[in-house]
Amino acid sequence: MKLQIERVATGLNVCIDDMAGHERTLVERIRRCRQTAWACPSGECSKIGTMEDRVGEGRLFLTLTPRPGEQLSAAAMEECLGYMLHPYLTESQ
């Protein structure tokens, strides 16, 4: 599984490869974390204002925009997503 995070003017673009069959589960976990930071070790998910997701060919693409007055950190988002992806990394090994 490969995680790529790119900073853009409006926030972050995220691409996660090899997610076939798990895309919707991960999107739902991020949505829940955005509301309460229930599982995020960095708390970065709570800073997400809007999240657009696209799924294609086993990849999950996310466009993340921060809440007003916040900034998203690529390093903190990588930590959060790494935590959320851990069960899927274990499965694929």
pLDDT tens-digit map of 46-77: 899 999 999 888 889 999 999 999 999 999 99
DSSP symbols for 11-73: EEEEEE-S-TTTHHHHHHHHHHHHHH-SS-SS-GGGGEEEEEEEEETTEEEEEEEEPTT----
Q: Which domain holds residue 12?
A: 3-92
The CATH number assigned to the domain holding 85 equals: 3.30.1360
Q: What is the pTM of this model?
A: 0.84
- Given a cut of 50, whether residue 11 has pLDDT beyond it is yes
Taking Cα atoms as reference points, which of 7, 6, 12, 8 lies closest to residue 49?
12
Structural domain total, the chain: 1
**Spatial CB neighbours of 86, under 8 Å, sequence gap ≥ 6:** none
